[in-house]
Amino acid sequence: MHALPDATRERRVVRRGLAALAVLALVTSAAACSDDGGSGPARADVPGVTDTEILVGTHQPLTGPAAPGYSKIAKATEAYFNFVNAQGGVHGRQIKYKIMDDGYNPANTQQVVRQLVLQDRVFAILNGLGTPTHTGVLDFLKAQGVPDLFVASGSRNWNQPDKYPHTFGWQTDYTVESKVMATYIKNEHPGKKVCHFGQNDDFGADSLAGVEQILGANALAAKETYVPTNTNVAPQVGALKAAGCEVVVLATVPGFTALTLGTAARLAYRPQWVVSSVGGDYLTLSGRLGPEGTPLLEGLVSANYLPSVSQTDDPWVQLFRKVNDEYNSGVEFDGNVMYGMAVGYTFVQVLQAAGRDLTRESLIEAVERGGFKGPGLTPFRYSPTDHSGYSGVRMVVTSNGVQTPVGSVYVTDDGDGPVTEYTEPPTTPPANGVPAP
Amino acid sequence: MERFVFLTFDGLSKGAVYAAFALALVLIWRGTRIVNFAQGAMAVVTAYAAYSVTAASGSYWAGFAAALLGGLLLGALIERGVMRFVEQAPHLNAVTVGLGLVLLLQGVLGMIYGNEYRPFAAPVGQEALTVGGMPLVSPFDLFVFGTVLAVMVLLALLFTRTATGLRMRAAAFAPEVSRLLGVDVNATLTLGWALAAAVGALAGMLVIPTGLGLHPTAMDLVFVTAFTAAVVGGLDSPAGAVVGGLAVGLVLSYVSGYIGSDVTPLAVLALLLVVLLVRPGGLFAGVRARRV
Amino acid sequence: MTLLRHLAVAAVAGVALFFATYQLDPFRNYQLATAAAYLCAVAGLTVLVGQSGQLSLGHGALMAVGAYTVALLQNAYGTTGPWMLAVSLAAGALATTLVGAVIGLAAARLRGPYLAGVTLAVAVTVPAIATTFDEVFNGDQGLPVYVDPPPAALGRFFPNERWQAWLALAAALVTMVLLANLVRSRFGRTLRAVRDDEVAASLAGISVARVQVLAFVVSAACAGLGGGLLAVLAFSVSPSAFSLTLSLFLILAIVVGGLGSLAGAVWGSLLLVLLPQVTESVTDQLTLSPAVAQRLQGNLPLAIFGLTLIVVMIATPGGLQGLIRRGARALARAARGLATSLNRRKVGT
């Protein structure tokens, strides 16, 4: 091997030295900078809980194509927590809500959830949003023993008490909802051709399963699916029209509900739409369709497990509107804001029930004891053997630009249990808007 | 038969938009040998400008004009301000800068307008005209065909019949010789970027009303599809861009209609492979130099 | 000789990193493990793009192949023994090698943006394949990945994140040693010859197509290993984790780190993991009203990230490694100047 000229050798040595220094600097700075968590002395055994504060975290799509609408939920929950904090908090502790953006990308969810659990040392994860995003962190949260409450998705994945004892759902799952919707169709539109148009994943599949259970396995004239990455649904809507569908059940997210309605209008196709609660909020859809497209929403049927935001005389709506005006900068009060605050309310109920001596175990036990009332229309199904959330829905119809409830509340399970009417009177919030201890 | 006709028209109308966008990519490629990854984000910026102008003035056409003018301005600005520094550097640097621009523009738009999807109006109705009970094209589809055709003709005239066009072609083909002959190469580059951005802005105005709405990421998928279309047609050929765009639009429509909308990316990949295996430079690739 | 030198460097680095994992907290260890997983893929990609001149915008999809292979094998056979994980990762790399060979062969005649276009189209097919064959791949939801806990011999309270860091760092070191040897070897010289002048290389008797396909295959194997590691670290695999965005971020990593340089691959991988977090914490420092904060959240870090990329690319066309090289040259020159002037004074000019 021939010797290198001096200059090159020197350069190489210096270059390697610089590189080594740089790596050392990076590693030490990465090790040095770590966030401080919380205020007050931390209790040695319970992460995220001090004498004055409870720190909970969540992962939400704040940016990216899934952000519209959903990005308002966590802020609404935070607003409700601030409302509760202003009145003394829960058992003397203030609730701090750390919201992290994952852009609906499961790879990011992995990073931010680990940051929340390992670095920020949150007490619990609340209302993590998205089925593909949250499914990926179930094993990690279980291994770390972190309570994983009220996942923001209607999938049945969260109801696996043997496999994931710390994970709980909250909203009505897709099959329960579609069973009630199918029962409505059977009663209100007998003999008509019914079809299904759903997202090509568990959301659409669970919804379809519920519909077919009530109406019969071969009762549907057409079943179409879409993927969120393809915004041209004209072929699918055209197929529905060609099959002569008179009633179409939509398991679609709000963007695609609007897209489907718009595409159908362009094809001069106006069936009776029955839309899942996920994509059926009137204000969200109206915002997407604009003033010219909003008339398409007339007659649209959807379902809801919470009071509708248009019911101005409902005490829950009034309470949350007030909180929205005072603590959430008065943003437009739509279904997403209502959802966020309702989740916050339930969480505060659970914290109250868990008691002053707050540990992760006492929190889980409190949820499994169940018995929480409101703001939803149906009871929760929480028990040691059932980790799903609300047990039913009520149908709503859009007429004259207002989404109003129709008929009674119905409950069922996600198996082959019957759909039964729920006749208990609706709940009312406490006078000061904070759940009692 | 009905379904076939319906899918054909649907595919052609979407394809026309891809053709317009592919044309913008080809313009920049021919001028600077750079693939402009920020083309989609730039089109979204001009669409938001149109949205604001229309909201303030109540006129769609004012917004439309604002989008095109804004495109000219934005293209010139980005070329002078950012891309100028990487035009002589390795090609991948320009790709990186383009991707950085996408993130920057989308972030800024999100900060100014928020992350909600906004409904974006079309100038004419989108209801399909029916012939014998069969829905064919809508007035909006005809508007799309018309504008894309007009753009193609205008660009063709510009490049083949005007002195400016000749200068631009010379600067792209042989920059050193052109400089010696007195052509201001830098100015033609800027003009090329400005024109391409305006064409991209037009494509944005045509496609956003048919999708989920106006959002910082609204053009991401269009960019990917249009780039594929440009490659199918041959990056050096404007005619190729148009043919490629229409072909991709048709393939997407037929596959989505007859098989399912989840398989469409596989169909596009298949189309690409089939075309490139036979003609590695795209459908309209020029004759390459003889290999030794 | 070269091999020994590389092994020595790897050994030193390995020891230093081993001690580092004891100093870092669990979250930092997880970040280190993620960076090491990315490094496998990024190093392979920088060799492909920088040394052989072929642009691939689809390496995220290749990482997905490795990830899904590991997921399926681990879920089926994960409990059969402590060595099963190594077998799964090797199988993941092998499967990706095969896919890479197919793509490489199909794309052997393509150059520049045409190759980029094909790889871009490949990148976008990942969700499509996952949903078309959803009995196996479970569509958009993805699959969980079973991974054995750390060996009992390490102790009951051994943090899982440190074990993950060890696994990923070991794989990354092996990959780096192999690639460094490859780059220095005759094959590496052939690669660079083809990149610099195809006609001259083929006149010299090099089979251009064969060399290019081999380069593609090697980089695919690295990407498969990286993807498999990501699946193991995350305990899950899903199509949206391996989207087009990942493929584009890999390109960003190799260019900003320093194209063609393995040290540059290290900078690029660290950048991928640290820069998003740095931009988030920068924006966290700003205290704003809730209405403004809602607008800025998520968007401001994105804008800062983009701006950083643009500035770095314009200021240092050779990437961070190029910057270090220039700095080294300047320092060396300064040192030599100082030595010469000292010498002169001694002689008494």
The rounded percent of chain C whose pLDDT value lies above 70 is 97
Residues C223/C44, Cβ–Cβ less than 8 Å = yes
Residues of B in contact with A268 (CB under 8 A): 127-128, 130, 135
A267 contacts B212? CB cut-off 8 A: no
pLDDT-derived band at A41, boundaries 50, 70, 90: very low
**Which of A27, A107, A229 is closest, CB to CB, to C241?**
A107
SS (H, E, C) B227-283: HHHHHHHCCCCHHHHHHHHHHHHHHHHHHHHHCCHHHHHHHHHHHHHHHHHHCCCCC
A150 has pLDDT over 80:
yes
Spell out a b/e string for A27-63, using b for 16 or more CB atoms within 10 Å of the CB, else e. Answer: beebeeeeeebbeeebeeebbbbbeebbbbbbbbbbb
Highest mean pLDDT: which of A142-151, B4-13, B258-267, C284-293? Answer: A142-151
CA C320, chain centre distance (Å): 15
Residue B72: partners with Cβ closer than 8 Å, 6 or more residues away:
B194, B195, B197, B198
Highest mean pLDDT: which of A17-26, A105-114, B133-142? Answer: A105-114
Residue B17 inside a domain? The answer is yes
Residue B249: partners with Cβ closer than 8 Å, 6 or more residues away:
B11, B12, B13, B14, B15, B16, B17, B18, B19, B229
Residue B221 inside a domain? The answer is no
Lowest mean pLDDT among A8-12, A354-358, B246-250: A8-12
- For residue A1, the model assigns a pLDDT of 46
- For residue C168, the model assigns a pLDDT of 95
Global confidence as pTM: 0.87
- For residue A16, the model assigns a pLDDT of 65
Could you give the domains of chain A?
Answer: 53-172+310-390 (3.40.50.2300), 174-304 (3.40.50.2300)
A58 has pLDDT over 80:
yes
Distance CA B2, CA B17 (A): 24
Cβ–Cβ contact B77 with C under 8 A = no
The residue range of the domain holding B171 is 12-216
CA C191, chain centre distance (Å): 20
Distance CA B233, CA C277 (A): 41
C304 contacts B264? CB cut-off 8 A: no
Which residue numbers in chain B have pLDDT < 50?
290-292
CA B92, chain centre distance (Å): 21
Question: Beta-carbon neighbour count of residue C308 at 10 Å?
Answer: 18
Helices A174-188 & A202-215 angle (0-180, nearest 10): 40
Question: Beta-carbon neighbour count of residue C101 at 10 Å?
Answer: 16
* Residue A109: exposure state from Cβ atoms within 10 A (0-12, 13-18, ≥19): buried
What is the side-by-side strand order in the sheet with A247-251?
A222-226, A194-199, A247-251, A272-275, A301-304, A392-399, A402-411, A420-422
Cβ–Cβ contact A371 with B under 8 A = no
Residue B276 inside a domain? The answer is no
Residue B172 inside a domain? The answer is yes
Tokens of B63: 């917004």
Strand ranges in C105-256 using DSSP code E only, listed in sequence order: 143-144, 236-237
DSSP, collapsed to helix, strand or coil, labels residue C144 as strand
B273 contacts C310? CB cut-off 8 A: no
Residue of B nearest to C119 (CA): B269
Residue B40 inside a domain? The answer is yes
**Which of C114, C309, C313 is closest, CB to CB, to B282?**
C114
Phi, psi at A197, each rounded to 5°: -130, 110
Residue C79 is given by DSSP the state: T
Distance CA C246, CA C234 (A): 15
Phi, psi at A368, each rounded to 5°: -70, -20
- Identify which of B234, B247, B243 has the alpha carbon closest to the alpha carbon of residue B285: B234
Strand ranges in C179-275 using DSSP code E only, listed in sequence order: 236-237
Residues of B in contact with C106 (CB under 8 A): 273, 277
Question: Beta-carbon neighbour count of residue A174 at 10 Å?
Answer: 29
Residue B166 inside a domain? The answer is yes
Residue A251: partners with Cβ closer than 8 Å, 6 or more residues away:
A174, A178, A196, A197, A198, A199, A203, A204, A207, A208, A276, A278, A279
Residue B285 inside a domain? The answer is no
Cβ–Cβ contact C25 with A under 8 A = yes
Residues C87/C149, Cβ–Cβ less than 8 Å = no
Our count of domains for chain B comes to 1
The rounded percent of chain A whose pLDDT value lies above 90 is 59
- Beta bridge partners, C81, equal none
Q: A276 to chain C, minimum CA–CA distance in Å?
A: 19
Tokens of A280: 């059926």
- Compute the average pLDDT of residues A25-54: 60
Cβ–Cβ contact C24 with A under 8 A = yes
- For residue A15, the model assigns a pLDDT of 61
Distance CA C5, CA C177 (A): 10
- C-alpha to C-alpha distances, B246 to B93, C117, C315, nearest whole angstrom: 31, 17, 40
C276 has pLDDT over 90:
no
Residue B69 inside a domain? The answer is yes
pLDDT-derived band at C167, boundaries 50, 70, 90: very high
Residues of B in contact with C49 (CB under 8 A): 92
Average confidence score pLDDT of chain A:
87
Residues A180/A373, Cβ–Cβ less than 8 Å = no
- Best A73, A230, A337 member to test B by mutation, with max B CBs in 10 Å, is A230
Residues B234/B22, Cβ–Cβ less than 8 Å = no
Cβ–Cβ contact C305 with B under 8 A = yes
Instruction: State the Cα torsion A265-A268-A269-A274 to the nearest 10°.
Output: 30
Q: How many CB pairs under 8 A join A and B?
A: 97
